[in-house]
Amino acid sequence: LFFNSFQFALFFVVVWLIRTLVTRTSTLRLLRPSLSRARVLTARNVVLLVASYAFYAAWDYRFLFLLMASTANDYIVARALEKEQRAPRRRLYITLSIAANLGLLGFFKYYGFFATSFAALGRTLGVEMSPHVLNIVLPVGISFYTFQSLSYTLEVYRRHLRAEPSLLNFAAFVAFFPQLVAGPIERPNHLLPQFRHVRPVTWSKVSSGAYLIAVGLFKKVVIADNVARVADAAFALHAPTRVQALVGAYAFAFQIYADFSAYSDIARGTARSLGFELSRNFDMPYFSATPSEFWRRWHISLSTWLRDYLYVPLGGNRRGPARTYVNLMLTMLLGGLWHGAAWTFVAWGAFHGLILCVYRPLEGPVRAWAHKLPFGARGALHGVAVLFFFHLVCVSWIFFRADGLGQAATFFRALAAVPTKDVTGELLVLGPVALCAYLVAGLLVIQLLQYLKKDSWLVYRSPVPVRGLVYAAGALLFVWTGVDGGESFIYFQF
Amino acid sequence: VASPSSISSSEPLVSEVSRARRNARARAPWGLATAAGMLLALELVLRVLHPPGVLPSTLDDELCYLGVVPELLAYGAPDIAVVGSSRARRAVNSPEIAAAFGSEQRPRVGNFGLGAAKAEDTEVTIRRLLEANPAPKLVIWPIAPHDLVSRGEQPGPWVRYLWRVSDWREARQRLGGRADRYLPEALRNEAARHLRLVRYRGPVRNLIEGSQRRHLLSNLTDLLLGRTQPTPLHGAIHPMNLKGDGTAMKEVSRKRIRRYIGRRSYRDPRWPNNEQAASVERAIELLARRGVRLVFFELPAHPLMEEMLPSGTTKKYRKLMKTLEKRHGVPFFRISDLDEQFSALDFVEQSHVNGMGAKKFTKAISGPVVKILR
């Protein structure tokens, strides 16, 4: 059930209709006059839970039991944490929750990676080891729901949140289908209370939700899937030229952004249409001038999770500069590994950690110096900084997309090579480069306006003729250049 | 708290009324309505101006599939339609077939051979041709073992550009949910029958993607002024066949052919009795039902390719074609039945004939074609 498939559209319409019928107390009271508001709430949450489990089971029903087990475990642990006053016991309970969640993640996601990596290390040291590699299928969304569930027990442990008394509410929170398989990783303080009330679904919510869904579908079907053809073609080359490597890296940068932010938009849109608010996961990240700004704009729910539950507990920046750099590197390395069990993701995390460490001491003095410059010069400097940092991000995407470190090295060698003369011929091999260039340029123009006006709802709030023109152009592009076939979202693999 | 005494509590305040009106105005989806109006206006402009609108790619890639439906909707079916893969597209020069009938009865001939097409793609092309009114009088299908290579339980990647909803429904009965990914394109094709805006999606994509080779503005001017390049679909000779003196050749090596044959299904003991053979049979039945004549011609094969195909491939393919000939009375001409001999010099690479080869093949099949239609 991909968000960009007809099956999902049908599924969503059915769920929306049932949810709307159930939450209209007047409709239910026709059947049972003594119905209380609490019963209506329960009925709605049952509908959402059943829908979420059905949505998850559509991939592989066997892993549904894993999701249920994880939910039950954290529900019980949180209840115990709530009642328990003794610190050692509380530490034991939270360790149990962390071990269960990370153990689950470790077994399904990292077992094979570590087994083969240790065997390879052994071979280099002269010790022959034959790793017992299991052919384990990675359950969809495991990285997302374990982190979401874990943040709940951690918040209860810190006494920032009371344990949820209703198992139904908690299960619906963990399994909420719009964000179950690829986030945003919701915080319990934000999403869980929304399962305790029935908020009216107003026309403005439905309309803005539909707008978010349309924007997400456009980004996925028109931009991401077209750009993916270029990126895939470039990364399939054994010996790319400089131009091909450059275009491939740019293409993947826009593919992953359009793809992942599309998923988040559709998730927010579907949730909003059902009366829920999900947190924003992307905020025009490619307009960041520094790495710390980038991580405030890119995959916000993961970066804030890592900040609050890893970087800060490690000591953050409170234990001196040396420890701060160690903490930054560690956080980014684990953030990279969270994406997948491969050395390329470790390298990606390490690269981001490194640029965070390099930028950190420079940011303050450069900002102070820039403030003394005239307005125009300051703007130009900011533009250069954004452009420079975007290219650093593109370098990191080469690690992320490459099949292995060898392929990444091939790409870097190609980027450093002397350019050839037959640029047109080299680009033709990559497929619809011109089409993608126009699409990306259009996306950047709209985002630049949103960035300058500091309003991500700029199009939605624009005057009717402008809005009409954008909608008409979007519809035409959707029909003319949209890639069909319900291609999977990149972040489903994590 | 004071309240306006002149207004009774049951009457709404003026400000409340105006706010309610404002809200109602805000609630109405004016943006969507404006967009719909703009699209409708553009549709009307296209209908009034009626630009040629058919700019199928001359390249053997997916864009040539996008040209089939617009061509048929704009110009109808030709009297004689050549169908098949890119081998057929390159091997048959439509104007030379038409010339064989003499100047008085010169029929309209179009070449609907499509890049990488298998029999299932050709079957759907035939379905679209048969929907035209009038339908073609004769369908020529130059066929090779390559047309019968199995794709397994998966529809071809570009066949969706030819599908209508009925094709999706039929494929769904055979393939189940695997056919669903092509439903959006089938719906677009259905919409293209009524809306020019949707119908021209091929030309538009061609226009944009073509700007990698030529400037976007020159492409746009050509499209608006109707200076479209004649294409095989519309009865022109494939531009590659017009290059130089027609004897273009690329290196053909054993390694290349081995890679080309790769893991194709020829080695399957059941080959060629697969879903592609079923498509050929369905196409024969469809044409017979409409009373449209069909003729198969064996396509010439590069000598090295013929040698390297798994043993018995050509024999099995000829046997299948002969069986179909007997069962349905559809003539099948082997290369040896034609008055031409082909050598490696007639091929541009291991699969396609060059300009010279196309001339020879077209000349060879013209005689039987004229005889059948007369």
**What confidence tens digit (pLDDT) does each residue in B117-128 have?**
899 999 999 999
Dig out the tokens for B277 from the structure. Answer: 């053979």
Which of B27, B31, B209 minimises the CB distance to A203?
B27
Dig out the tokens for A26 from the structure. Answer: 């007047």
Segment 147-206 of chain A within 8 Å of chain B by CB: 203-204
The pLDDT of residue B226: 61
Q: Model confidence over A74-98: pLDDT tens digits?
A: 999 999 998 888 888 899 989 988 9
CB contact under 8 A, A476 and B213: no
Length of chain B: 374
**Active site (annotated) includes residue A339:** yes
The pLDDT of residue A358: 92
pLDDT band at B30 (very low <50, low <70, confident <90, very high): confident
Q: Indicate whether B3 pLDDT > 50.
A: no
pLDDT band at B96 (very low <50, low <70, confident <90, very high): very high
Q: How many angstroms separate the CA atoms of B172 and B184, rounded?
A: 14
Q: Model confidence over A336-364: pLDDT tens digits?
A: 988 877 889 999 999 999 999 999 998 88
- Report the pLDDT averaged over residues A30-36: 66
In this structure, of A242-246, B92-96, B248-252, the range with the lowest mean pLDDT score is B248-252
B37 contacts on A by Cβ (under 8 Å): 468
Q: Indicate whether A28 pLDDT > 70.
A: no
Cis peptide before B272 (omega within 30 of 0): yes
pLDDT band at A485 (very low <50, low <70, confident <90, very high): low
Average pLDDT, chain B: 82
> How many CB atoms sit inside 10 A of residue B7's CB?
11
The pLDDT of residue B210: 66
The pLDDT of residue B357: 94
CB contact under 8 A, A484 and B181: yes
The pLDDT of residue A326: 92
Q: Model confidence over A113-159: pLDDT tens digits?
A: 767 776 777 777 777 666 565 566 667 788 888 999 999 999 999 98
The pLDDT of residue A75: 93
The alpha carbon torsion through B218, B221, B222, B226 (nearest 10 deg) reads 180
Q: How many angstroms separate the CA atoms of A135 and A130, rounded?
A: 15
Q: Indicate whether A99 pLDDT > 60.
A: yes
pLDDT band at B63 (very low <50, low <70, confident <90, very high): low
The pLDDT of residue B205: 75
Q: Indicate whether A456 pLDDT > 90.
A: no
Dig out the tokens for A132 from the structure. Answer: 């017992």
Compute the nearest-CA separation of B41 from chain A (Å).
11
The pLDDT of residue B92: 95
Compute the nearest-CA separation of B235 from chain A (Å).
26
Q: Answer yes or no: are the C-beta atoms of B130 and B37 closer than 8 Å.
A: no
Enumerate residues 6+ apart whose C-beta is below 8 A from B187: B165
Q: How many angstroms separate the CA atoms of A362 and A158, rounded?
A: 35
- Report the pLDDT averaged over residues B252-263: 81
CB contact under 8 A, B35 and A203: no
Position with higher pLDDT, A491 vs B317: B317
- Report the pLDDT averaged over residues B349-363: 93
Half-sphere exposure of B326 (CA within 13 A, CB side): 5
- The helix (H) or strand (E) run that includes residue B81 is strand B80-82
Q: How many angstroms separate the CA atoms of B157 and B84, rounded?
A: 16
Mapping DSSP onto H, E and C, the string for B104-157 reads: CCCCCEEECCECCCCHHHHHHHHHHHHHCCCCCCEEEEEECHHHHCCCCCCCCC
- Report the pLDDT averaged over residues A393-401: 94
Q: Answer yes or no: are the C-beta atoms of A148 and A302 closer than 8 Å.
A: no
In this structure, of A444-448, B138-142, B310-314, B330-334, the range with the lowest mean pLDDT score is B310-314
Which of A204, A465, A481 minimises the CB distance to B34?
A465
pLDDT band at B228 (very low <50, low <70, confident <90, very high): low
Interface check B180 vs A, CB under 8 A: yes
The pLDDT of residue A424: 76
> Which residue out of A339, A352, A371, A391 is catalytically annotated?
A339
The pLDDT of residue B374: 78
The pLDDT of residue B71: 82
pLDDT band at B13 (very low <50, low <70, confident <90, very high): very low
Which of B197, B205, B216 minimises the CB distance to A481?
B205
pLDDT band at A375 (very low <50, low <70, confident <90, very high): confident
Q: Model confidence over A184-219: pLDDT tens digits?
A: 899 999 999 998 887 777 888 888 899 999 999 999
In this structure, of A9-13, A129-133, A193-197, B284-288, the range with the lowest mean pLDDT score is A129-133
Q: Model confidence over A307-343: pLDDT tens digits?
A: 999 999 988 888 888 899 999 999 999 999 888 778 8
What is the Cα Rg of chain A in Å? 24
B197 contacts on A by Cβ (under 8 Å): 476, 479
A435 contacts on B by Cβ (under 8 Å): 205, 208-209
Q: What does each C-alpha distance from A29 to A20, A23, A35, A47, A274 come to in angstroms?
A: 14, 11, 6, 17, 21
Position with higher pLDDT, B374 vs B15: B374
Interface check B209 vs A, CB under 8 A: yes
Interface check B212 vs A, CB under 8 A: yes
What is the complex's ipTM, to 2 decimals?
0.74
pLDDT band at B11 (very low <50, low <70, confident <90, very high): very low
Average pLDDT, chain A: 86
Q: Answer yes or no: are the C-beta atoms of B323 and B233 closer than 8 Å.
A: no
